[in-house]
Structure 1
Amino acid sequence: MTAADRFDLTGKVALITGAAGGIGRVTATRLAREGASVVVTDIDERGCKDLAGELTAQGHRALGVAMDVTDNAGVATAVATAASTFGPVDLLVNNAIVACPIPPKLHEAPTSLWDTDLDVIVKGAVRCCQSVLPSMMARRTGVIVNLVSVNAFAFYGHPSYSAAKAALVSFTRSLAVEYGPYGIRANAVNPGTIRTAAWAEQEAKDSTVFDALAQWYPLGRVGEPDDVAASVCFLASGSAAWITGSVLTVDGGLTAGNPVMARSVEGS
């Protein structure tokens, strides 16, 4: 990371959900390196506390707190713990999901899958926002970044996850408009395929899965967690001071067009 890649978040308190692994882990690490005090939350208590310990050992300010985003009281307690340790939350990153690497077909999916995706992704973000917004409103400052997905805008599989992420896009815009007068900004980061452990099941079946997916990306590769983390840091920083209600697409060009089809049309 060079000086040109830096976003100064010194003095900010950031709370990240789903932070024990994958995108959340890298995002929490990047935020800490940018100077933020990070509250690493996850339903995986050991995972979030281990990460917080690693960051603390590196000289960063970090706290690991077990939190289930489907539990109202648990969310409120985690936010209160963050405030009592570092101060009120300045940045909330809603990243929690339930991993479902190979989902069932729509007509075979149990309603419980829909209930879970909507409860964790949408209502989980709502619970977290409701817990941090009063303090942000009182201080007339704050940033919320929601992690959505290209699945919110086109069908790439997993209907319940896609629907939940689409709802989160709408929720982001609602936050931006309703709380903008309080100096609070809300934006979404919209990733394409990101190389994380969530793909382990597919990769175990086919070690070339990322190579196969890369052909659909104009930049010729799938994304890495730091591609997303850098975008979160940008939106959290003063460099994005007049950006709110926006969706920052970080997808290597996937939604810009279809390179495979384009080559076929061109006869190449």
Structure 2
Amino acid sequence: MADTRRFEGYGVLVTGAAQGIGAATVRRFAEEGAHVLVTDIDPAAAETTAAALREQGMAAGAFGCDVADRVSVEAAVAHAVDTLGSLDVLVNNAYHCSPDAPLFEDEPDDNWARDLDITLTGAYRCSRAALPHLAASGRGAVVSIGSVNGLRDFGNHAYSAAKAGLVSLTRTLAGHAAERGVRVNLVAPGTVRTPPWEERAGALDALRGLYPLGRVGEPEDIAAAVAFLASRDAAWITGTTLVVDGGLTAVDSGFRSAWRGRDDT
């Protein structure tokens, strides 16, 4: 459990929060005193996550939200304002990732459109609906969950393009929102131990060696970074991308390994 209560009295809405990074994020905010709204396209799963927090004495509610639908997004934001008392933090976590076709020319339009609509346009819809309330709070913050895929090539054309778009949206929205007292930042995780990886036995162990810090990330690693950027500890930070990837994009492990193994004789 977090050591501080930085978010006492805050209202926090997190999208795609029933599991994985989203669930760890709502828990982190709730542990630090926030009243959180767990939103997810699966309302029952959202309620399960919220109920677990309430059972431990934390303030949490749940609401079904499809970020691909403007009406659903606006209903979730309105519900947050009504039930949380204020909306101080929005975390854009919902995403969709389609597998790549073997050949780029075989990529279907539907996969491209869906990944961008949920991952990028979904964050746009949520931020648009939340911004007036975040501005009214006097301490508003938006934190989006990007990916190292938006910074370098790790495959997944549509998903990566959507995550790169989030980096740009973070900058432009930060410029607009600053004069309204709202900060906008992004966390770009590397590989994180989340439910989708459970279907790929052994993949995380294989990837571990690519990370300079010797492990893949845990959802709590990302939640901690999100909480920092949303807090007053980051009061002079806006429009930035915070890479949380165990050194993956900073260190070329393959090059270093090859260099160490070179034959100088």
* Band the TM-score falls in, shorter-chain normalisation: over 0.9
Q: CA deviation at 1:24?
A: 0.5
Corresponding residue number in structure 1 for 2:16: 18
Task: State the Cα deviation string for residues 97-119 of structure 1 (Å, max 9, x = none).
Answer: 1254x433333221101100110
Corresponding residue number in structure 2 for 1:255: 249
Which residue identity lines up with residue 221 of structure 2 in the other structure?
D
Q: CA deviation at 1:263?
A: 1.6
Which residue identity lines up with residue 12 of structure 1 in the other structure?
Y
Q: CA deviation at 1:267?
A: 1.6
Counterparts of 1:113 and 1:89, CA distance in 2: 33
Counterparts of 2:90 and 2:184, CA distance in 1: 9
Q: CA deviation at 1:62?
A: 0.7
Corresponding residue number in structure 2 for 1:180: 178
Give 1:117-266 correspondences, 5 Å limit. 117-203=115-201, 207=202, 209-266=203-260
Counterparts of 1:21 and 1:104, CA distance in 2: 27
CA contact (8 A) 2:88 2:137 kept: no
CA shift in 2, pair 1:19/1:144, >3 Å: same
CA contact (8 A) 1:49 1:64 kept: yes
Counterparts of 1:23 and 1:246, CA distance in 2: 20
Q: CA deviation at 1:58?
A: 1.1
Which residue identity lines up with residue 100 of structure 2 in the other structure?
P
Counterparts of 1:59 and 1:127, CA distance in 2: 32
User: Unaligned 5+ residue runs, structure 1?
Assistant: none
User: Unaligned 5+ residue runs, structure 2?
Assistant: none
**1:103 aligns to 2:100 (yes or no):** yes
Aligned structure 1 segments of 4 or more residues deviating by more than 6 angstroms: none
Counterparts of 1:99 and 1:264, CA distance in 2: 32
Which residue identity lines up with residue 101 of structure 2 in the other structure?
P
> Kindly, what percent of the aligned residue pairs are identical?
46
Which residue identity lines up with residue 244 of structure 2 in the other structure?
V
Q: CA deviation at 1:226?
A: 0.4
Counterparts of 2:5 and 2:173, CA distance in 1: 23
Q: CA deviation at 1:89?
A: 1.2
TM-score, structure 1 normalization: 0.93
Counterparts of 1:103 and 1:183, CA distance in 2: 40
Q: CA deviation at 1:10?
A: 0.7
Counterparts of 1:49 and 1:7, CA distance in 2: 24
Counterparts of 2:118 and 2:141, CA distance in 1: 20
Corresponding residue number in structure 1 for 2:42: 44
CA contact (8 A) 2:184 2:238 kept: yes
Corresponding residue number in structure 1 for 2:92: 94
Aligned CA RMSD, in angstroms, stands at 1.4
Counterparts of 1:267 and 1:72, CA distance in 2: 55
Counterparts of 1:43 and 1:118, CA distance in 2: 16
CA shift in 2, pair 1:107/1:47, >3 Å: same
Q: Give the secondary-structure state (helix, strand or coil) at the position aligned to 1:186.
A: strand
CA contact (8 A) 1:7 1:233 kept: no
Counterparts of 2:2 and 2:59, CA distance in 1: 21
Q: CA deviation at 1:86?
A: 1.3
Counterparts of 1:35 and 1:112, CA distance in 2: 41
Q: Give the secondary-structure state (helix, strand or coil) at the position aligned to 2:36.
A: strand
CA contact (8 A) 1:7 1:234 kept: no
